[in-house]
Amino acid sequence: MGGSKRKRPAVVSNVLVGNGHSEGSHYTDHHGNSHATTSNASNAYTSRIPIVYSPRFAADISDLAIADKNTRDALAYLARKRLIKMSALIPCDRPVSDEELASMGRKGQHAGQEEALVNPRGWSISTGGGMHHACWATGKAMCFFADLTLAVRHAQALRPGIRIMIVDLDAHRGNGYEADLMKDSDAGSVYILDVFNTGVYPPPSEAPSKRAIRKAVPMDADTSDRTYLTAARRALDEAFLEFPDPGLVLYVNGFDVLKGDKNGHLGLTPNGVVRRDIMVFEAALSRRIPICVVIAGGSYMEDNGEVIGDIMAKVLRRCKLL
């Protein structure tokens, strides 16, 4: 690949980076099914530059296309409401090099943490990350770039000795970064709180990565707002008691917890998700702890972008962050 140009797939945004599977290799979807990839980019793979999957491969992943469209529609909704400005978007019709996309992925995650750490108000939101199934060595389950591992490493380099709390409230367990951060968890420099549906991806074969979790909160399918929020609030309070005064909270929020989502299979209402996100924002900001939010599952329900945008708007307004 090295410098070659490839048109960016129209249905996929700048998060499509990965470890460069070869032609004929496989990836695993959220249902645990194995699929053949179509990327032919592996020959030029280096450990420093993630590889962008081919448009044909990207187009084959319909769930990712839905999630990506919902995220972009949510941002467009917020822009129409004049709550954010849309800028620096790369047009789908211009060729974008693999190196440029890889650089965007790194810079976007770096910018999110640095904004949270240095912004006087102490928060930021990244819409191009949260790929919590990807680990340093490989992509998994529609996650191609280990941005959460990178986020931790970048924050550690930026502020040596920083203690980081990861709050993962996506419907799926974050097996990728958890596998990467086991030593950090053992050493007490990273604390992971993960609330997840036990009946969905990842499969039992990924169980070893659970060792990194300091506070695991398993949920059953169709869990209601009340049950979910009660358990999550209790776990969050306990987490800050067990890991007081972290230097940064990385919040993987995920909208695949919404009732009807075909991959998350939980039962939260939009109002329940608003309450969930307010709970996490207030837990961090009331303690004067910077928080960087990454939107993981952009919801796998068709045309759900405005629902997500409305949720984000309500959270930002009620937390007086706008």
One-character DSSP codes across 56-111: HHHHH-HHHHHHHHHHHHHHHHHHHTTSS---SPPPTTSEEEHHHHHHHHHHHHHH
**pLDDT higher for 98 or 11?**
98
Q: What pLDDT, in 10s, does the model give residues 64-82?
A: 667 767 777 777 777 777 6
Q: Per-residue pLDDT for 248 more than 60?
A: yes
Q: Closest Cα to residue 277, out of 236, 218, 220, 224?
A: 236
Could you tell me the pLDDT band of residue 265, with boundaries at 50, 70 and 90? very high
Averaged over 180-200, what is the pLDDT?
Answer: 96
Q: Per-residue pLDDT for 125 more than 70?
A: yes
Catalytic residue list contains 35 = no
Q: Per-residue pLDDT for 33 more than 90?
A: no
Q: Which of 110, 132, 133, 265 is catalytic?
A: 133
Q: What pLDDT, in 10s, does the model give residues 216-225?
A: 999 999 999 9
Q: Per-residue pLDDT for 277 more than 60?
A: yes
Q: Per-residue pLDDT for 211 more than 90?
A: yes
215-219 β-sheet, strand order: 123-126, 291-294, 248-252, 164-168, 190-197, 215-219
pLDDT on residue 257: 94
Least confident among 62-76, 125-139, 177-191, 217-231: 62-76
pLDDT on residue 164: 97
* Stated pTM of the model: 0.75
pLDDT on residue 297: 61
Give the distance from CA 144 to its chain's centroid: 11
